[in-house]
Structure 1
Amino acid sequence: MDPILSVVALSVVLGAVIVFVFFKSYFLKQRSEVQTIAKPELHSDPKKPSKPPQPISRKSHAKRHFHASDKDQNKRHHPLDLNTLKGHADSVTGLCFSSDGRNLATACADGVVRVFKLEDASSKSFKFLRINVPAGGHPMAVAFSDDASSIVVASETLTGCSLYMYGEEKQKTTNDSKQQTKLPLPEIKWEHHKIHEKRTILTLTGATASYGTADGSTIIASCSEGTDIILWHGKTGKALGHVDTNQLKNTMATISPNGRFLAAAAFTADVKVWEIVYSKDGSVKEVLNVMQLKGHKSAVTWLCFSPNSEQIITASKDGSIRIWNINVRYHLDEDPKTLKVFPIPLCDSSGSTLLYDRLCLSPDGKILVTTHGSTLQWLCMDTGKVLDTAEKAHDGDVTWMSWSPKPIPLGNEQVVVLATASVDKKVKLWAAPSRNSS
């Protein structure tokens, strides 16, 4: 048995040696092949062009320059773009300036109303007051009431729309200036629910009643997606009047700056205008349908009043802008007159006219700013010519815009500022273009 075991053991050892030698030679061969393959990539043939690394380098540089320019464009992609108000977590659905222009209230779909303090339009950051609407509500629009400390908010829930008026307690004067800068918490002063049944509020606008015997109170108009419009007393929340456009569905409504007229754009080409009649004691007596603006061939998409409340500017699906004189003796059946008609100058790449979504006239009545989707366009009111255009002013559609009623600081200057809100969660501040622009 011992000789047999010895033979077996020797065979195993010899087999192991043979296997070891075989695998060693195999791995050495593979290593040699790998080195042979790798060498041409590390040391390329000088006869062959070594251009691939250069384009890669250029591309990387190009990307760096591209992103850098993108960042610059995001910060200020247009000469009139002054600043961006940050902090919104969802679409910004509305905004409104206070009468002095120093406060800007924004409504956001994140359930928060923010009131920014615009101490300087060029600031890197802005202080703001945060107002959380009741749970389940989504702020749709805002309007200041009698002063900068009173704000009316339209909020939408699954059961309908509500109005809330938030008021702040007056700040107590103290010797400590730091305590004076702390904003008081707002409180709900009045509220109304399901004001347009379950219909959405499209627009919420306010104006100081300064015409005739009006007492100077703020009048608020809420316009639903149906055919109804309701007037409210800003301070008390009292309903002052209801009107019906009888035009299938509303597009928007607004009040003249002096609180005398209410005008609505709806499904048809005609614009209805009502007069808010005041009693001797300054209260609202009635709301009368006094005139219609007839001339457009298709539905009016938006309208606005002139600062003196004597003209209305309309944009229509017929591709035109009209300026109307409403300072007429309508009680003697004198009809409003068309003063000017301009073609909408905004076109797409094929030359087709693009319709304006919104209009807003500057406080001096000389510059009309318009929107189409995310595009802003400034027009001269005298000639209808384009003063400037900002394509992709936002990264999404513009939802609302408003001019500051009075100039606000911009460094060492005082400028009138345009604020725009968008679905891109941003609010932007814009300077007015020169009227010498072409």
Structure 2
Amino acid sequence: MAFDFGIVILTLVIGALIAVLVWSLTKKSSESSTKGKSEKAAGGKKDGKKSSGAQSKPAKKKPAVAISKDSKSTFTHSWLLTSLKGHTGAITDMDFSANGKHLATCAEDRSLMLWKLNFGRLDSTVMELNMKDIRTVRAHVQYDSATLIRWSPDSKALLTVRALGNNIEIYKVLKKPEAGGLPSVQVSHAFEKTREADLLAIDVASTGRFIMTCTPKNELDVLDLKGNLLASVITNQMETYSAKISPDGRFVATSGFTPEVKVWEVVFSRSGEFEKLNRAFELSGHTSGIYSFDYSPDSGRMVTISKDGTWRLYNTNIDYRQGQLATLVVSGKWKSEGNEPARVALAPDGRVVAIGSNCSLYIYSTANAELLSHIPDIHAAPITRLRFDSTSRFILTTGDKYVRVFHNVPGFKIAVADLEVKLRKATGQALKERCQIQLKEAKALVELFNARN
């Protein structure tokens, strides 16, 4: 049988081609596998994961905003009665009820809180209060938060300003039927928005006749209790910083970028009908803008604090219609800490002035403007509200989510000196006995705090 060399050669060629094709495909597959492993290893290294077979722990997701521990939550001081804790956001405003039983606060956490304090009945020997000794009521601001809060004169309602709505909302404060029960707080109604600029102040006259609002754009409005506009005036202070109604319900005053406090009388007829908003008088003497001001309970004194580094106490027990002017009683210097607006409050008994500068509290004598005390670093943020209670025994501050309540120890010490002078001048037996009792109580308080220090 003849051997066909052509078929053999063709077979060898086809076999060789097949071998080359298989080798080529095997090499390409090997390179792809190697490349995939390299990329996987590189990707693992880029993502911060281990390239070994062991499963690595997932990286922790960082929060959008770093949260630091609030060191001020553990603030202590020998004069501190208590720290009111309950809000989870910064407190924006606070106000005492006219009967002195409750403090109302509002905060960025969209809540309102009532704190049953009743300082007038608190025993003078009580040095500290725990939160378990303080009863509270909470209400929520629906779809918004409140920036300002004020009690009605009869303590039966709360007026607030909604942050987003920039309008007044009214809450009813309903008393519990049982004696000593805490009231409940319910939304009643709201007024229509009247100003585009944010309201910086709201107040209610003690007479119950009108409501006052003001904006930084110098828009001062007087409203009736239904929210209807009675009068409006432009304060012409370039920018208004503060506005308040006098405790007697007669005057409205504003302060701002210009170096004076402007005062208007809200005039009503004998039958109770609104007549006009009449320019009354000014408090002059500062050389720069006035951050804030405060009244004495009888409206006969006003205290101011200015960018010029001074505070001033005025006698406002005047008849401006007879041409009488407010006169200076005493002036002192205060220490500015940073560029934050300062707050000022006058003790109801008129003995001391409190100033909140940045995160610190300063207390001065109204007799000679002497600095009596300085308490630093009270809050985690600058002090935004500062108040005395109606007894002058306590000073309240807020600037973060807490309200600090301090014993007014400098006021106690001045009270001892004043009562000693009053006792020496007393002529009647009843007056002497009353002075002796008050002096004994004041001395006991001072001795208690001297012992703590």
Scaled by the length of structure 1, what TM-score is found?
0.70
Deviations 1:292-320 (A, max 9, x none): 22221111111111222122211111111
8 Å CA contact retained: 1:319, 1:355: no
| Residue aligning to 1:96 | 95
Structure 2 CA distance, aligned partners of 1:433 and 1:240?
44
What percent of counterpart residues are identical? 25
Cα 1:134/1:387, change in 2 over 3 Å: same
- Cα RMSD, aligned residues only: 2.7
Cα contact 2:330–2:369 (8 A) shared by 1 = no
CA distance in 2, matches of 1:369, 1:297: 21
SS of the residue aligned with 2:285? coil
1:429 aligned residue: 405
Equivalent residue, structure 1, for 2:149: 142
Give a deviation string over 1:43-90, Cα, whole Å, max 9, x none. xxxxxxxxxxxxxxxxxxxxxxxxxxx99x854522221111112111
Tell me which residue corresponds to 1:11: none
Q: How far off its partner does 1:339 sit?
A: 2.7
TM-score normalised per structure 2: 0.68
- Decide which of 258, 262, 268 is 2:248's aligned counterpart: 258
User: Which of residues 147, 153, 161 is equivalent to 2:166?
Assistant: 161
Partner residue, 1:363: 348
| Offset, 1:325 | 2.4
- For 2:238, give the aligned amino acid: L
1:251–1:192 CA distance, 2 compared to 1 (3 A): same
**Residue 279 of structure 2 is aligned to residue 279 of structure 1:** no
Secondary structure, counterpart of 1:434 in structure 2: helix
Equivalent of 1:202 in 197, 200, 203: 200
- Do structure 1's residue 113 and structure 2's residue 112 form an aligned pair? yes
- C-alpha change, 1:347 and 1:272, in structure 2 (3 Å) is closer
Instruction: Kindly indicate whether the alpha-carbon contact (under 8 Å) linking 1:115 and 1:129 is maintained by their aligned counterparts in 2.
Output: yes
Unpaired runs of at least 5, structure 1: 1-69, 210-216, 408-415
CA distance in 2, matches of 1:74, 1:164: 31
Distance 1:347 1:292 in 2: 25
Contact 1:114 1:128 in 2 (8 A): yes
**Aligned partner of residue 274 in structure 1, secondary structure:** strand
Match of 2:223 among 220, 232, 244: 232
Shift of 1:417: 2.2
Equivalent residue, structure 2, for 1:151 = 158
CA 1:254 to 1:86, structure 2 compared with 1: closer, same or farther past 3 Å?
A: same
Decide which moves more: 88-97 or 294-303. 294-303
Structure 1 counterpart of 2:279: 289
What 5-or-longer segments of structure 2 have no aligned partner?
1-69, 123-127, 415-453
Q: CA deviation at 1:347?
A: 5.9
More helix by share: 2
More strand as a share of residues: 1
Equivalent position of 2:129 in the other structure: 122
CA change 1:185–1:270 in 2 (3 A) is closer
Q: 1:145 to 1:182 in 2, by over 3 A?
A: closer
| Bigger radius of gyration | 2
1:324: how far off? Answer: 2.1
Residue 242 in structure 1 maps to residue 219 in structure 2 = no
Alpha-carbon displacement from aligned partner over 1:312-350 (angstroms, at most 9, x marks no partner): 211111111122223333223333222322222x266xx
Matches within 5 A, 1:317-328: 317-328=307-318
Asked if 1 retains the 8 angstrom alpha-carbon contact of 2:345 and 2:353, the reply is: yes
User: What amino acid maps onto 1:88 in structure 2?
Assistant: H
Preserved CA contact (<8 Å) 1:388 1:433 = no
Classify 1:81/1:232 alpha carbon distance in 2 versus 1 (closer, same or farther; 3 Å).
farther
Where do 1:346-385 residues align within 5 Å?
A: 346=335, 357-385=342-370
Aligned counterparts of 1:182 and 1:376: Cα–Cα separation in 2? 32
How far apart are residue 398 of structure 1 and its match? 1.1
Q: Deviation at 1:264?
A: 0.6
**RCO greater where, 1 or 2, for CA within 8 Å and sep 6 or more?**
1
